[in-house]
Amino acid sequence: MTARAAAPLLECRDVSVGYDRPILEHVDLRVEAGEIVALLGGSGSGKSTLLRAFTGLLPPLAGEILLFGQSLYELSLEDRRRLLQRTGTAFQQEALFSSMSVEENIALPLRELTDLPGKVIREMVAMRLAAVGLSGYGPRPPASLSGGQRKRIALARASILDPALIFCDEPSAGLDPSVAASIDETMVMFRDALGLTLIVVTHELESIRAIADRGVMLGRGSVLAQGTIDELSESRDPTVYQFFHRISDDALGELPEAPAASEPPAAPPPTAPAASVRDADRRPGTPQA
């Protein structure tokens, strides 16, 4: 990978994204080669919108997005396409082509974008199917698979070119724990064995802890905090705290005014997020169940 030099694979400089009005503003982040970064945040916090901006589908309202050191939206369409060929995206709704079989779906990027011989393509597809635990499902139509199987096929298709950077939008949302764990393992394998970098949109706490090297927490229209998962779970920001300790808005009650920004991670736990009795056992400082 030539891009493994100093430049980060992905960089956001003061980016605002949204449709008519901005959903997220002043986003600054860097993703380095070989890490798994989780984009975190509650529903509607702008995770998927930001991902659309990263993948060339939604120009930002302000700021600059650099992919492999090049400004994504200042390139010509042709150059942008070439840049995006070095990434892979697994969509939340899988977006498998229903008119093709599973193996044709996975082979599509290879057939369209490379000059590999057919035998090698078939071998690579078989390897990927084995890697996601679905050997023998190749000839089936995607419609005949379960939700979890389709998610794994989407991941196989997104990774088939060994792209330097893979985007996954909620790869394990709504799946049973064992399937979710196998998807997590596959993603970690891509990083360890192939040296790929992954940006994963998710709100599954367990999977975040299992795979992510770093997290970027979105909320209240911007980046609330970023750092390692341990750092994030000790953050004093009320939204981040709420997220990592699974506290509902009701249980949180009325919070005092939010702290200015993400505090240093080593800071002491927040002073009582709520006064209600039933969440007393979840107070910071007391052991978690």
In the complex, minimum distance from the CB of residue 231 to other proteins, in angstroms, rounded to a whole number: 28
Residue 241 CB, nearest approach to other proteins (Å) = 37
Rg of the chain in Å (alpha carbons): 20
Residue 194 C-beta: closest distance to other proteins, Å: 6
Residue (6 or 193) nearer to other proteins, CB: 193
d(CA 193, CA 191): 6
Q: Minimum Å distance from CB 185 to other proteins?
A: 10
Please say which residue, 66 or 126, places its beta carbon nearer to other proteins.
126
Residue 133 burial class via C-beta count within 10 angstroms: exposed 0-12, middle 13-18, buried 19 and up: middle
Q: Which is nearer to other proteins, 139 or 285 (CB)?
A: 139
* Minimum CB distance to other proteins smaller for 120 or for 267: 120
Q: Tell me the backbone φ, ψ of residue 121, rounded to 5 degrees.
A: -60, -45
Shortest distance in whole angstroms from residue 85 CB to other proteins: 7
Closest approach of Cβ 178 to other proteins, in Å? Answer: 19
Shortest approach of other proteins to residue 193 CB, angstroms?
4
Applying CB under 8 A, the residues found at the interface with other proteins are 1-2, 85-86, 98-99, 103, 113-117, 119-120, 122-128, 130-131, 135-136, 138-139, 141-143, 160-162, 189, 192-195
Q: Where are the beta strands (DSSP E) in the chain?
A: 10-18, 22-31, 36-40, 62-67, 70-71, 87-90, 165-169, 197-201, 214-219, 222-227
Q: 205-215: b or e for each residue (b if 16 or more CB lie within 10 Å)?
A: eebbebbbebb
- Residue type for position 126: A
Q: Alpha-carbon distance 208 to 233, whole Å? A: 11
- The phi-psi region of residue 56 (left if phi > 0; otherwise alpha if psi is between -120 and 50; otherwise beta) is left
Tell me whether residue 119 or residue 278 sits nearer to other proteins (CB atom): 119
For residue 69, the Cα-to-chain-centroid distance in whole angstroms is 20
Q: With respect to other proteins, which residue has the nearer C-beta, 64 or 104?
A: 104
Tell me how far apart the alpha carbons of residues 108 and 141 are, in angstroms, rounded to a whole number. Answer: 14
* Of residues 143 and 289, the one with the C-beta less far from other proteins: 143
